[in-house]
Amino acid sequence: MYIIGTDEAGYGPNFGPLVVTATLWRMAEFDFSSVITSANFAGIDIGDSKQLYHSGGSLDKLSKGVLSALASIGIFPKNDTELFDIVGKVSQLPFMFAEPEISLQKISGELKPESFNFFLSGSFHKVLSQIIFPAEYNSLLEYYGSKGELLSNITLKLVVELIADLGIDLCEQILVLCDKHGGRNCYTDILTRYFQDELIKVKEQSREISIYNLRGMEFRFIAKGESQIPIALSSMFSKYIRELLMQRFNFFWQKQIPTIKPTAGYPEDAKRFMAEIENKLKELKTDKNEIWRLK
């Protein structure tokens, strides 16, 4: 059977991309007890990315976990550009995120890909991320009408794409684990949109968990879903990709304004940062909506 875990990073900030990730796991048989907790595997931390990384701190824990996961399936990106190309879905980086290229080589000696064969009957299989920069985000927000609806649609598109890429038939067992989207409890409409020919059966809809069944598949939208390993690794991929891009973003602005302090992009500090770069934006003939995400 297959397990797909999904999560995002960058849902709240005004600056930087929203990154949504789906990770695919394959197991010989269904054993949900294998995936219900975060863990440390031979020195590789798998858990909530917000616990593994704090703004301004070291990316080492995220880097070791993400790159070990990729190494376990034979993928070894040398720098962040290769990482974006391998797992991300983005046609072109906006100029403020285009440099510098960040080497990932320093962590390569600490990778432990064998730690990802921790399921007795299965393993990590594939990852797919969607990187959504502010201009596209604002357009999608207008189209979908809310942040929660935007996130749900991007997430379901990734799930459908993973299933289609691998030719997984819906008659096989597939468990999809998602962190809840903006606190919503009902996902029937969004599932019907992406699985139009399937009968969606509501098993449970509560504040803690919403569960849906359709032919061969079960979707679980879970509050504090990062406690599930497939969701946690998706959270780590999303956070790692976003933080690498924010390093590039801050580097660009520190070249323009050497005295400016870097930003993580969250609302209060984002207002300070925007006030400091506003005149330079005009000089660069760049519209605010190209870098500022609407709410």
Assessment of whether the complete model's pTM goes beyond 0.85? yes
Predicted local confidence at residue 120, as pLDDT: 38
pLDDT of residue 191: 96
Q: Does 100 sit behind a cis peptide bond, omega within 30 degrees of 0 on the bond before it? A: yes
**Beta pairing partners, 4:** 24, 176
CA distance 286 to 256: 14
pLDDT, residue 240, reads: 96
* The pLDDT value given to residue 121: 46
Handedness of CA 256, 259, 265, 269 (dihedral sign): negative
Q: What is the pLDDT of residue 8?
A: 95
Q: What is the DSSP string of 128-152?
A: EEEEE-HHHHHHHHHHHSSHHHHHH
Q: What CATH superfamily classification does 2-245 receive? A: Ribonuclease H-like superfamily/Ribonuclease H (3.30.420.10)
Locate tokens 């973003």: which residue?
A: 249
Of 196, 237, 228, nearest to 214 (Cα)?
196
Q: How much is the pLDDT for 33?
A: 46
Residues 6+ apart with CB under 8 A from 184: 148, 152
* Ranges of the chain with pLDDT below 50: 32-38, 119-121
**Per-residue pLDDT at 69:** 87
Q: What pLDDT shows up at residue 111?
A: 64
Under a CB-based contact definition with an 8 Å cutoff, are residues 122 and 25 in contact? Answer: yes
